[in-house]
Structure 1
Amino acid sequence: MGNCCPPSSKEGDDKQSTTSSLASGKVTLIETVEKWEEKLSEANKNGKMIVLNFSASWCSPCRAIAPIFCDLAAKHDSLMFLTVDVDELTEFSTSWEIKATPTFFFLKDGQQVDRLVGANEEELIKKTEAAELMLTL
């Protein structure tokens, strides 16, 4: 696997660098509700499904799955990969009823079609491939 989202290993890293370890490359970090609405609109307009990852910079499983998430984003151009740091957008995350991180949602036309709770690489790959297949149906 590539290393497009390396986990931060330094003590005392600032919030920006630890949060950015969750998203890079073709993964967009959603930092505001307005940015979410913009990306949702863009995905709907372009006929893309969204893979939405709710993570936290302090969460070891989130940091561990981030490079896999980035690799999937690089391989699946028909999908839009977005990450939300639950600590940065607390109210937004709460509205999605996030109980554990990471939690992944698969959205088509703004509606949830699938979900995965936990950093299960095999399931994330399987669900991502299924999401891409859904677009061709």
Structure 2
Amino acid sequence: MGVCLSKYHDDDDESNHQAEFAGGNVTLVTTKDAWDQKLSEANREHKIVIANFSASWCGPCRMIAPYFIELSLNHTTLMFLSVDVDELPEFSTQWDIKATPTFIFLRDGDQVDRLVGANKPELLKKISGIVNSQPPPPPACSDI
């Protein structure tokens, strides 16, 4: 599944993937049900989702993962997800993932943007654009 410009395999076990690609406010999605639950949560909370489709063997994926985690800590109004294309190959194909990393930006479950590759400045630019275009959340109900 997917291509990676500096594709290599090593002897890391699968648990290292979780440690590298999840953290901060990034949730590792390992099932279609978990994906559906997180999208439902994002819709309820009026959050835009940024999904990182990556692979444990992908060098650029590993390079940008800490930055993705850092972005998740700086942009708490967004929901950050990480999907391993090798764990969910059919699901990744449904999202037309042809290379890793691929970042998909979703609003109300619909794709609004996409970035292919580990391009930090472009990822930050896209996130900043989304944050700046995001309407304010609805006011919280209060007892008056």
Per the TM superposition, whether the score is higher than 0.5 is yes
1:31 to partner: Cα distance: 0.4
Checking the alignment, whether the CA contact within 8 Å between 1:19 and 1:85 is kept in structure 2 is no
Mapping 1:26-65, distance limit 5 Å = 26-65=25-64
CA distance in 1, matches of 2:36, 2:119: 28
TM-fit CA distance, 1:132: 1.1
Letter in 2 for 1:73: S
TM-score by length of 2: 0.84
- CA RMSD in angstroms, aligned pairs only: 1.2
Query: Gapped runs of 5+ residues in structure 1?
Result: 1-10
Identity among equivalent pairs (%): 56
Give the whole-Å Cα distance in 2 for the aligned partners of 1:124 and 1:27: 15
TM-score by structure 1 length?
0.89
Judge conservation of contact 1:55–1:85 (CA < 8 Å) in 2. yes
Deviation at 1:12, TM superposition (A): 2.7
CA drift of 1:24 comes to: 1.3
Partner of residue 109, structure 2: 110
1:16 CA drift (Å): 1.5
- Compare CA radii of gyration and give the structure with the larger one: 2
Equivalent pairs, count: 127
Structure 2 unpaired stretches of 5+: 1-9, 137-144
State the alpha-carbon separation in 2 of the partners of residues 110 and 12 from structure 1.
36
By how many angstroms is 1:117 displaced? 0.4
